[in-house]
Amino acid sequence: MTIKVRALREFWCSIGFAERNFMLVKRYAGWEAVFLTYTVVSALTIGLIGVGTGDQQLVLFLVIGAVLWGYLSILFHEVSECIAWERGEGTLEYTFMAPVKRFTQLMGNALYAITYGLGRAAVQLLVCALFFGISLAGANFLTAAVVLVVSSLPFLGLGLACAVLPLLSRERGSQATHIFQASILLVSGVYYDVSVLPSWLRPFSVVSPATYTLRAMRAAVMDGVGLADVGNELLILVISGVVLIPVGFACFVLGERWAKKTGKLKIEG
């Protein structure tokens, strides 16, 4: 089998994993409607805080934070929770026995998370724009799109690293991922500027990729800046992704080996 044919096979296998996840969304469409409604209402509630001040720029600031955090958290959550999904469906052991590279499986989950996250973010933004009468005429959508794509990389890496937690603990691993997600939310300036953080917390905002994503996205949407103006933020996000994706994948592989050795993949019930 040539390298080209092998690469094409792995690509279609990734598409297959992504398609399987979309089938699960279709299967639990009622729950998906609940989650979508919750995220949209949450964004509206946060935007109303700005309405109370009479500052339209603050409304836009908060809405961008809510929508973007919704997208980033989906990337983090869906990739890291792919193992929990497998356990719930009773397919984890079978999937890990399949003749498919683990990277192929995880990239299929990542492709699903990106597509699914973009769809939900688009719905949130559209509803918020109509609800608050927000004008996006001065936004630079090219810069915003590039920021979205680049910011996906480090969060996929973080998701891969946290995906190992459900392997290490069948009962509490999935819940533990929310601790990391909440920590990033706290220090990244999603709903406020990081300058208001206590001095001992500010250094953590420097190492959070969400800080640079939010800063670049707000500059693109609120100020209409070009790619050159957010070049530093994009560079940091690219470097973060290049570092975190291999590290996250390595963590997952080590966790998988340990789980197989200790029998953690055994299906019960």
Q: What is the DSSP string of 101-119?
A: -HHHHHHHHHHHHHHHHHH
What is the rounded CA–CA span in Å between residue 123 and residue 10? 31
For residues 74 and 120, the answer to whether their CB atoms sit within 8 Å is: yes
Q: Label residue 258 by pLDDT band (50, 70, 90).
A: confident
| Domain-wise residue ranges, the chain | 3-262
Neighbours of 266 (CB within 10 A): 11
CA-based angle 67:68:74, to the nearest 5?
Answer: 95
Neighbours of 143 (CB within 10 A): 23
Structure confidence at residue 264 (pLDDT): 63
What is the rounded CA–CA span in Å between residue 24 and residue 3? 32
Render pLDDT for 123-182 as a digit per residue (tens, 0 to 9): 998 999 899 988 888 889 899 999 988 998 998 888 888 877 777 766 666 667 778 888
Three-state DSSP state, 163: coil
Structure confidence at residue 174 (pLDDT): 64
Structure confidence at residue 234 (pLDDT): 95
Q: Label residue 18 by pLDDT band (50, 70, 90).
A: confident
Q: Label residue 101 by pLDDT band (50, 70, 90).
A: confident
Q: Label residue 94 by pLDDT band (50, 70, 90).
A: low
Structure confidence at residue 269 (pLDDT): 47
For residues 98 and 86, the answer to whether their CB atoms sit within 8 Å is: no
CA distances in angstroms from 182 to 130, 178, 204, 206, 232, listed in the order given: 29, 6, 13, 16, 26
Residue 118 has pLDDT above 90, yes or no: no
What is the rounded CA–CA span in Å between residue 92 and residue 255? 14
Minimal CA–CA distance to 165: which of 107, 240, 248?
248
Highest mean pLDDT among 76-80, 149-153, 234-238, 247-251: 234-238
Instruction: Please state which of the ranges 41-50, 60-69, 167-176 shows the lowest mean pLDDT.
Output: 167-176
